[in-house]
Amino acid sequence: AAAPSGDRTVTIDSEGYPAHAVCLDDLEPREDERFSAAAITRGVCAELAARGRRVGGFRACVSSMVPRGSGLSSSAAYEVLVAAIVNALFNAGAIPPVELAPAAQAAEIRFFGKPCGLMDQTASAVGGFVAIDFGDPALPVVRKVGFDFAASGYAAVIVDTGASHAD
C-alpha cells in the first residue's frame, strides 16, 4: 500500500525489516547508506528524476515472499517496487517497464554499491516469463513468453537454503 505524503520524504515500512525514511532534497549517493534499502530508495528516486521523471514523497507499507539474499533478485524486485510506486503516484503510470529497469539497475550500482546487469531488473519490471535481447543495452527488446506451469504439469519451487548467493 502506498500514498503520497505531501512532503519530500519517502518512508517505507517493509515487513521483516526496519522502516526507513529518505529525504528527496538529497539525491546523491551516501556512503553511510550503502547496502541498505534506504540507498536503493534514494537511488531509484534519483535515477528517475535524472531521467526527467517526477518524484515525490510517499509512505508505503510492503511485504514480499522473495527471500532476501536468495539469488532470486530480491534487490531487483525491491528496486522495481520503488520505481513502480513512483511511476503510479507521480507519473500516472506512463513510464514503461523498460525505462524503470535501467533506473533500478543504476540505483543498485551507484547507490547500493553492487555491480549488476540489467536482466533481473528488466524481468522484475515486465513480470512473468520474458525473453530479453540486449543487443542494444540502452534499448533492450523484451518479449513475454507464454508458459503455464500448472497446465504443463510443473510447479515453480523456491527453496530457502539459508546460504548466500555471493559466490
Residues identified as active-site: 120
As a whole number of angstroms, the distance between CA 167 and CA 165 comes to 5
CB 108 within 8 A of CB 79: yes
Q: What is the DSSP string of 84-151?
A: HHHHHHHSTT-S-HHHHHHHHHHHIIIII-----SHHHHHHHH-SSEEEE-SSTTS-EEEE----HHH
